[in-house]
A and B are shown apart, each in its own frame.
Chain A
Amino acid sequence: MSKIIVDEQYLEIIEGTNLLQACLENNIYIPNLCYLKERKEKNASCRLCFVEIEGMPKPVTSCTLDVEDGMVVRTDTPAVRRLQRTAFQLLMSVHEVDCAHCPANKKCELQKIARFLKLGLKPKGLDHSLRELETDHDHPFLEYFPHRCVLCGKCIYVCKKRNGRPYLTFAGRGLDTQISFFGDKDPLKLPCAECLACTLICPVAAIIAKTDT
């Protein structure tokens, strides 16, 4: 067991546990969107789960660290909170906020983070505009909503894990990045109807079953 201190709380954690996981399991919330416990190689792309650790010069992503004995962690410094707020507002600057008509309403990870950071869902003072994207809507079983997607990549991972290969991928670069379906769209060749793993893992409702639209 490793003894660590998080926000002045003494915790005993199994050595080598993921730090973000350890905090979440002990009811210390750290905003996160791309973390998946079972994924070994964290992609650490949502850039929200920062914490400060004694002895480290800069804030670090907690999802990429393992617990080490004697670690002194702060999840709630004013500096980190401020950076998280800015980052979250940027994320929301391209989000189509329409909770009333959104299947994720009330179980949405973004709503949770907003509440936690004491922010509204609509960013203040930033240019709020949806990205101009061409999105493929031909998939026989799934519908994708790019203006809800936070590009966390969880759907790709679970799809690959479940089916041995991914039927989803990141497409486009930079501002045009989105999730796209790839491969044969012949319904008979797709495992999606029985799978729907992506729709279950999505922290927002950016991928849903066509039957739910």
Chain B
Amino acid sequence: MLKLKNREALNNFRNNILSKHQEKDKKLISLCAGSGCGAYGTEKVYQTLTEELAKHNLQDEVEIKLTGCHGFCEKGPIMVIHPEGIFYPQVKETHIPNIVEKTIKNGEIDKSLAFKDHITKKKIFHEEDIPFYKLQQRIIFGNNGMIDPTSIKDYISVDGYTALDKVLFEMTPDEIIDEIRKSGLRGRGGGGFPTAVKWDSCRKHEGERYVICNADEGDPGAYMDRSLLEGNPHSILEGMLIAARAIGSNQGYIYVRHEYPLAVKNIETAINQAREIGLLGKNILHSDFDFDIHISRGGGAFVCGESTALMASLEGNPGRPRAKYVHTVEKGFRQSPSLLNNVETWTNVPVIINKGADWYSRIGTEKSKGTKIFSLVGKVVNTGLVEVPMGTSLRTIIFDIGGGIPKKKEFKAVQTGGPSGGCIPKEFLDLGVDFDELAKVGSIMGSGGMIVMDQDTCMVDVARYFLDFLKEESCGQCNPCREGIKQMLAILTDICKGNGKEGDIELLEEIGGMLQKFSLCGLGTSAPNPVLSTIRYFREEYEAHIRDKKCPAGVCKPLFHYEIDPKACKGCQACAKKCPEKAITGEKKKTHILDRQKCIKCGICYDICKFNAIIIR
């Protein structure tokens, strides 16, 4: 590819790509090749599809595009046929002949392959009509389904690098930062720090400035950053280029999680393409601006996502946080002024420059602007990545987009923000999700993780589970976090085993409160959130464990047993057949009997009984 020498060259290049797109007027099959869909077999589907199209001699009329993640990973591999937007979920190789014959050749929809709505049980044919997508506003994530992430031409064809062009030739650094300030953008890495303030203070410190992308994504349940890295890597590069121009930096780093091979590959490809074409490197588009980006593969510890630990790790030192009384914008990576933003934050930047701060700041709430991508998982019908305006209610996200709780169970709580987030009960379902509202109810935005929990979840066990994760992640340098998490975990484990004592709740509050105030880094200060929020909203559940030695949700095995409710039991034998211990006996149509001595509390009968006759006592 030829190096683009100036802005006219970039423009011509774009026009050239666009004119080719139009003249062919082809059908476009977008097939998701993100990590999620890939695991369900995109590769095979792609092969079969290529062969099938060739068989019908359609290879020149139909373009297949392997795209990044569409967000609805649970239904992968996902295929969307444009321009109509026909949506086929869970596509298998065996479906391909039909799809080609019916949809591609004859323009008909194969109803048997279409998406079925969980609630209405109706088939939905077009992507835009599916509730999961319909209520989203995909200003950041939208292009993922449209472009081939390994093609810089695709990115350029959807207005990619126009924002760079604009900041290089039409805006001063002050104007760039001002635009970001007016947009109200806040960091998506968790803290919600105003992005423009960070840029501005980094710019004011003298030295070799660095622009760094935090792609560590240590929260095990969240993968929005991975999806952006895999699906739209150039948008991250463009965001970093814009910041580099604004603060006067010539070097950038992307610190990406080692366990993300496809993300690393795609971002590497993107960097190489941008270099080749002259959008990274020296004298970019003849603007006298030099900037290049390097990749550093992180080891994968959760705490390495913390800003100072990340920079230590980037230098090749152990990833331990340091006290931040000197900020990283002044002395960060290599003791130089360093500007760190999260992947999603970076991808917001070109959108703001292109569409303007006025447009952008109309989305969201007063203090949290724009959209946020959430990773919706747990006990919810539709799991996946969901991009909604800030301020969208939990109810909309979980019930309208997420389709509610499966198996007609009750919603109990949602944990937001990753392993150190808080659990929010149903009283707050109408809470508009933004940085400040989440903080008010004792949780955090964090990574944007959202784990939905149903009635069968024990909140004490949940707190125990997250602390067990965090215990392994504490870097160990400061006493409150190192010993505090361990002690809280010991108390919670005791409570779950039935060894809870009076005073345990107060002790948890005491230690948790100390961690929040005394820990050195955000891991320690946020680690008590799962404990303190569950105590705040589900105190009676803790008390039941400690005083009555009962686990009302039927999770902590020493603290409950199953019984058969004779009034509800229809004697269908479903449970008796499935019990691995043969603990349930009974004749057909007669009330069954559960032998508590034999029962191992596996819960199979509880899940299987259609009449709710198995009860937790």
Contact = CB atoms under 8 A, between A and B. Distances in A.
B322 A43 contact: yes
B181 interface: no
**Chain A's interface: helix, strand, loop or mixed, by majority?**
loop
A7 interface: no
A153 B476 CA distance: 12
Contacts of A126: 487, 507
Contacts of B323: 42-45, 61, 64
A86 B474 contact: no
Contact of A176 (B473, B476, B478, B517): B476
Given A45-B520, A86-B510, A174-B482, A151 B477 contact: yes
A50 interface: yes
Contacts of B474: 173-175
Contact of B476 (A44, A87, A172): A172
Interface centre among B320, B475, B477, B514 (most CB of A within 10 A): B477
A84 to B, nearest CB: 8
Interface in B57-100: none
Interface in B452-482: 471-480, 482
A170 B517 contact: no
B480 A47 contact: yes
Interface residues on B, range: 20 to 34
Contacts of A64: 323, 325
Q: Which of B513, B514, B518 has most chain A Cβ within 10 Å?
A: B518
Interface in B540-563: none
Contacts of A45: 323, 477-479, 520
B476 A58 contact: no
A136 B517 CA distance: 35
B475 A173 contact: yes
A9 to B, nearest CB: 24
B503 A125 contact: yes
A126 B318 CA distance: 31
Contacts of A97: none
Contact of B511 (A41, A44, A50, A90): A90
A150 B514 CA distance: 18
Given A151-B477, A174-B474, A175-B486, 16 more contacts: A42-B325, A43-B477, A45-B477, A47-B479, A59-B517, A65-B325, A86-B510, A86-B514, A87-B518, A90-B479, A90-B514, A93-B483, A125-B507, A150-B479, A170-B320, A173-B476
Interface of B: 301, 318, 320, 322-323, 325, 471-480, 482-484, 486-487, 490-491, 503, 507, 510-511, 513-514, 517-520
- A-B pairs with the 4 shortest C-beta distances? A177-B476, A44-B323, A64-B325, A90-B483
